[in-house]
């Protein structure tokens, strides 16, 4: 099941808003009181976390028209929640078949587009209207489908900032539930019968004492102790984590570790339901408020990568609210949702949806990091990379040089497998330490290169964010006029050939007009690259100036991860990032 769109009218700050959910991972961001939690409440009103309700005593607040209607709207307009949901025959057979029954004829498509509009009037009367693939259903069918949605376990909700209630009045232990396959449930059911008999045997004294207490009441009760009904449909359990062979209850770990573990268990449970060989299954979604809570920025970066990967790989819709740039969708930046509040006469009014297009994709990042949108323009490809290990180079030409050298299959000039070369747009992009720190922590392994002539400006910045020359970054070029760039590493015979064949461009490098100088420089760069790429007889010795860079990249992988040796078809060994 996947929520594709939701439109809300007259609910708290959501006076009139229409939001589309793109992909399986969606991050909702915005300043405090922008309406993030309110939007989650709208989702939770219909898509319930019934597993949690089974074990915890604090339930969601009931919606009330008088309390929840948008306060500044005059009159008594209905509160309206309008959902558009995709139901798939393969992953949601239980809901697909249920809807098909009320549709009253077979649905040939493998997907159902279910639109469900729920309205609440001033008397707190609820009405519902459903459409299946654009066709209106009867009032009765619509109400039955709404009840099915609300009674099914269609959401796993985790509020990182809230403290859950204890189960069975324990010492604050957090409990989770395992979901079992039919075969596993059969085995557990057999064991449950044996356990029930054991419970009856050892509880006789307790039964007698409780019967005596109840005997003071006018009504007479017969006492029996049993295992709670449905206990082996799913099984509540507490978690211990091992550290250096010592079992420690999860509740005794730090808040960050507890928070991540509870979230991962919710995803695991959703995946178990999704994977069951059961025609009644419905794939749930996962909603997480502030998954970054209690985590160091580097841990946030790692956890954000993991959440996005799991959502997309498992095809489980994951919706998070966040104040962390690391939790935003980075591989699909236009799927992020940014909420803002209107201001009228100095007062905050309706929640609005920021319009995120290709040219404003960076808005959620800039709001969270407190930066100007223009700071992000050079980093579009970098932020959108889904790799764990990257080499950041100053431009596309640098990338083509390194990829071409790698393609020559020379022993000491091979890039680690899995390394992605990603260009940023010029050295000035590296001067914003806040953004650069975010970029560095986004990846597991990162190495930065820039032209040697930028070293005086950038050395201090690299050190400010804890990077070391040779280990994390490297200026490239040689310390000679005109060669303090990647072209300075190119064999001299290729440089001489290009310069001799393009004397007009070489002369233009001395022009007074800076635009002419820049144009000539860029044209020569492209010609040198082309000459380098078509050269058939280049030797490993001629490329010796590149070896320092390739050696640093191999050292990066050696330092940060286990080395995995692989062999290509020719038997050559290589590093895997």
Are residues 103 and 79 both part of a single domain? yes
For residue 127, give the CATH number of its domain. 3.40.50.300
pLDDT tens readout for residues 292-343: 998 888 888 888 988 998 899 989 999 999 999 999 998 888 899 999 998 8
Q: Is residue 530 part of a domain?
A: no
Give me the residues paired with residue 234 across strands. Answer: 179
For residue 456, give the CATH number of its domain. 3.40.1360
Are residues 75 and 213 both part of a single domain? no
Are residues 104 and 198 both part of a single domain? no
Q: Among residues 443, 434, 436, 307, which one has the least CA distance to residue 385?
A: 443
Give the contacts of 138 (CB within 8 A, at least 6 positions apart). 102
**pLDDT average, residue stretch 244-270:** 67
Residue 262: predicted pLDDT: 80
Are residues 229 and 328 both part of a single domain? no
**pLDDT average, residue stretch 361-379:** 91
CA atoms within 13 A on the CB side of 167: 16
Are residues 416 and 304 both part of a single domain? no
Final residue in a domain of this structure, among 275, 302, 325: 275
Residue 261: predicted pLDDT: 77
**pLDDT band (50, 70, 90) for residue 575:** very low
Q: Is the pLDDT of residue 239 over 90?
A: no
Are residues 431 and 284 both part of a single domain? no
d(CA 44, CA 319): 12
**pLDDT band (50, 70, 90) for residue 226:** low
d(CA 47, CA 148): 10
pLDDT tens readout for residues 96-117: 999 999 988 889 889 999 999 9
Are residues 335 and 447 both part of a single domain? no
Q: Is residue 254 part of a domain?
A: yes
Q: Greater confidence, 163 or 64?
A: 64
Q: Is the pLDDT of residue 402 over 50?
A: yes
**pLDDT average, residue stretch 370-398:** 88
Q: Is the pLDDT of residue 219 over 60?
A: no
Residue 445: predicted pLDDT: 85
Q: Is residue 516 part of a domain?
A: no
d(CA 163, CA 12): 24
**pLDDT band (50, 70, 90) for residue 395:** very high
Phi, psi angles (nearest 5°) of residue 444: -70, -45
Are residues 205 and 237 both part of a single domain? yes
Q: Greater confidence, 368 or 231?
A: 368
Are residues 241 and 290 both part of a single domain? no
Q: Greater confidence, 255 or 60?
A: 255
Residue 225: predicted pLDDT: 55
What pTM, to 2 d.p., does this model score?
0.78
Residue 162: predicted pLDDT: 67
pLDDT tens readout for residues 540-549: 999 999 999 9
**pLDDT average, residue stretch 17-32:** 95
pLDDT, averaged across the chain: 83
Among 32-46, 254-268, 465-479, the minimum mean pLDDT is found in 254-268
pLDDT tens readout for residues 491-537: 999 999 999 999 999 999 989 999 999 999 999 999 999 999 999 88
Range of the domain at 135: 2-162+279-353
The number of distinct structural domains making up the chain is 3
Are residues 198 and 309 both part of a single domain? no
How far is CA 88 from its chain centroid? 22
Final residue in a domain of this structure, among 275, 307, 341: 275
Give the contacts of 337 (CB within 8 A, at least 6 positions apart). 19, 21, 26, 27, 28, 29, 353, 356, 364
Q: Is residue 414 part of a domain?
A: yes
Which string of b and e fits 519-556 if b means at least 16 CB within 10 Å? Answer: ebeeebbebbbebbeeeeebeeeebebbeebbebbbeb
Q: Checking phi first, is residue 302 left (phi over 0); if not, alpha (psi -120 to 50) or beta?
A: alpha
Q: Is residue 168 part of a domain?
A: no
pLDDT tens readout for residues 173-217: 444 555 566 677 678 777 777 777 776 777 666 666 555 555 554
Final residue in a domain of this structure, among 225, 258, 275: 275
Q: Is residue 462 part of a domain?
A: yes
d(CA 45, CA 496): 72
Q: Is residue 426 part of a domain?
A: yes
Residue 167: predicted pLDDT: 39
Are residues 7 and 106 both part of a single domain? yes
Q: Is residue 83 part of a domain?
A: yes
Residue 567: predicted pLDDT: 30
Are residues 71 and 150 both part of a single domain? yes
């Amino acid at each position: 099941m996947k929520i594709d769109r939701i439109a809300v009218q007259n609910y708290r700050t959501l006076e009139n808003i229409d939001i589309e959910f793109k992909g399986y991972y969606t991050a909702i961001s915005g300043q405090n009181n922008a309406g993030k939690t309110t939007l989650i409440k709208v989702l939770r009103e219909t898509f319930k976390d019934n597993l949690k309700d089974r074990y915890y005593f604090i339930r969601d607040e009931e919606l009330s028209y008088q309390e929840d209607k948008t306060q500044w709207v005059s009159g008594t307009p209905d509160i309206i929640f309008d959902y558009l949901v995709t139901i798939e025959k393969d992953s949601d057979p239980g809901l697909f078949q249920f809807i098909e029954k009320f549709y009253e004829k077979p649905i040939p498509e493998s997907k159902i587009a279910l639109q469900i509009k729920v309205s609440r009037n001033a008397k707190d009367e609820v009405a519902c209207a459903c459409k299946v693939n654009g066709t209106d259903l009867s009032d009765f069918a619509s109400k039955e489908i709404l009840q099915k949605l609300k009674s099914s376990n269609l959401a796993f909700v985790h509020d990182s900032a809230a403290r859950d209630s204890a189960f069975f009045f324990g010492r604050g232990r957090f409990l989770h539930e395992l979901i079992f396959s039919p075969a596993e449930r059969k085995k557990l059911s057999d064991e449950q019968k044996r356990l029930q008999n054991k419970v009856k045997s050892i509880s006789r004294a307790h039964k007698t004492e409780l019967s005596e207490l109840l005997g003071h009441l006018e009504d007479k009760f017969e006492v029996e102790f049993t295992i709670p009904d449905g206990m082996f449909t799913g099984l509540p359990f507490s978690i211990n984590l091992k550290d250096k062979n010592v079992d420690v209850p999860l509740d005794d770990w730090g808040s960050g570790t507890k928070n991540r573990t509870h979230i991962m268990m919710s995803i695991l449970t959703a995946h178990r339901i999704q994977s069951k060989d059961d025609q009644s299954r419905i794939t749930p979604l996962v909603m997480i408020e502030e998954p970054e809570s209690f985590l160091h920025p580097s841990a946030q970066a790692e956890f954000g990568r993991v959440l996005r990967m799991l959502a997309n790989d498992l095809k489980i819709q994951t919706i998070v609210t966040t104040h962390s740039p690391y939790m935003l969708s980075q591989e699909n930046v236009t799927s992020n949702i940014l909420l803002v509040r209107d201001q009228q006469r100095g007062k905050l009014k309706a929640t609005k949806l920021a319009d995120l297009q290709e040219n404003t994709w960076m808005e959620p990042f800039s709001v969270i990091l407190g930066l100007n949108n223009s700071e992000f323009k050079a980093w579009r490809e970098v932020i959108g990379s889904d790799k764990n290990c990257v080499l950041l180079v100053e431009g596309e030409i640098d990338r083509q040089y390194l990829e071409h050298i790698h393609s020559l299959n020379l022993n000491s000039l091979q890039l680690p497998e899995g390394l992605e070369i990603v260009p940023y747009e010029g050295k000035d992009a590296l001067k914003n330490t806040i953004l650069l720190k975010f970029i560095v922590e986004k990846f597991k392994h990162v190495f930065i290169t820039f032209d040697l002539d930028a070293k005086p400006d950038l050395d201090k910045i690299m050190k400010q964010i804890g990077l070391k020359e040779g280990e994390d970054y490297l200026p490239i070029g040689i310390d000679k006029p005109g060669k303090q760039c990647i072209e300075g590493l190119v064999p001299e015979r290729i440089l001489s050939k290009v310069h001799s064949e393009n004397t007009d461009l070489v002369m233009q490098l001395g022009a007074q007009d800076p635009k002419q100088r820049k144009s000539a420089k860029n044209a020569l760069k492209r010609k040198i690259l082309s000459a380098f790429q078509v050269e058939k007889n280049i030797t490993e010795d001629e490329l010796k100036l590149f070896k320092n860079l390739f050696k640093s990249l191999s050292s990066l992988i050696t330092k940060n991860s286990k080395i995995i040796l692989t062999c290509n078809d020719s038997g050559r060994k290589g590093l895997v990032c």
